[in-house]
């Protein structure tokens, strides 16, 4: 399908207006961080909801709510103040291939991080693409860092990351499209007057975000000739984002609403 740049921009802007509305929230995983007002709760709830976001959206939302309930609907307080006995309630949690082993490591990482930083945003400021540095930070790949400047590791007497947990955090270095992490960044960084995305992070530029790319968005993007690559990977996400920058350099990922809506709601 071929449209002029002007016609395409107008069409996609109309679709952004249609889907970037409060009515979008209840049926989307973004509803989970919208349960909270404390910035750290928004970050933690949003991160888990994003990581769980593959498969049926109703299941994603229900499992995310289940986890929030296990953390007394106060995830930040639970993470930084819980006692060892409180972890027992987490042992039965499972969502698809994400299980209690993964969850306990995530909890340990968050506890370490929030004892050193007020916001999770700082974890994404370690590399230009925001994600490669986060991956290394999350999994303590830099063992040479001073003990008080790195997350938990076996040297600290606390568990290093279980091998099985690595698959749950994507990285551009593995040529993943990083759809879920890019979606999480969109939620935290974008700010407009629609009330869907949160805009609670101020150190990352909206213009530097990468469009979340899954099979639905990729299908629509190829139909409108926004990308040419046949793979759904990191390079494709960058190719799509580069095109979207020509439509709106300051806020290219707003078109995620249009492409997702066309792909999932309208079955383009």
C-alpha–C-alpha distance, residues 244 and 76, integer Å: 35
Count H helices and E strands in the chain, helices first. Answer: 10, 2
Q: How confident is the model at residue 1 (pLDDT cuts 50, 70, 90)?
A: low
DSSP codes, 131-190: SHHHHHHHTT--TTS-GGGS---GGGTSPPPPGGGGGGS--GGGT---HHHHHHHHHHH-
Q: Provide the pLDDT for residue 5.
A: 83
> Per-residue pLDDT tens for 172-209?
999 999 999 999 999 999 999 999 999 999 999 999 99
Among 58-62, 66-70, 110-114, 195-199, name the one with the lowest average pLDDT: 110-114
C-alpha–C-alpha distance, residues 99 and 77, integer Å: 22
Whole-structure pTM value: 0.92
Q: How confident is the model at residue 78 (pLDDT cuts 50, 70, 90)?
A: very high
Q: Looking at the predicted structure, is the pLDDT value of residue 152 above 70?
A: no
């Amino acid at each position: 399908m071929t449209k002029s740049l002007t016609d395409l921009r107008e069409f996609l802007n109309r679709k952004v207006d249609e889907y970037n509305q409060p009515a979008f929230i209840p049926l989307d995983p973004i509803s989970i961080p919208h349960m909270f007002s404390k910035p750290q709760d928004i970050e933690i709830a949003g991160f888990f909801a994003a990581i769980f976001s593959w498969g049926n959206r109703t299941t994603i939302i229900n499992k995310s709510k289940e986890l929030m309930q296990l953390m007394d609907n106060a995830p930040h307080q639970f993470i930084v103040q819980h006692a060892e006995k409180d972890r027992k309630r987490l042992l039965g949690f499972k969502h698809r291939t994400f299980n209690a082993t993964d969850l306990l490591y995530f909890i340990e990482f968050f506890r370490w991080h929030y004892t050193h930083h007020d916001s999770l945003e700082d974890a994404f400021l370690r590399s230009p693409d925001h994600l490669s540095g986060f991956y290394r930070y999350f999994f303590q790949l830099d063992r040479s860092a001073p003990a008080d400047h790195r997350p938990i590791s076996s040297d600290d007497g606390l568990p290093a990351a279980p091998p099985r947990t690595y698959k749950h955090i994507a990285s551009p270095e593995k040529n993943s499209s990083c759809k879920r992490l890019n979606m999480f960044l969109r939620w935290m960084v974008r700010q407009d007057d629609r009330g869907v995305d949160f805009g609670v992070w101020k150190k990352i530029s909206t213009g530097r975000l990468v469009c979340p790319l899954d099979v639905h968005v990729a299908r629509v993007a190829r139909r409108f000739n926004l990308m040419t690559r046949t793979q759904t990977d990191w390079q494709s996400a960058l190719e799509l984002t580069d095109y979207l920058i020509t439509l709106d350099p300051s806020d290219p990922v707003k078109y995620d609403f249009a492409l997702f809506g066309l792909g999932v709601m309208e079955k383009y």
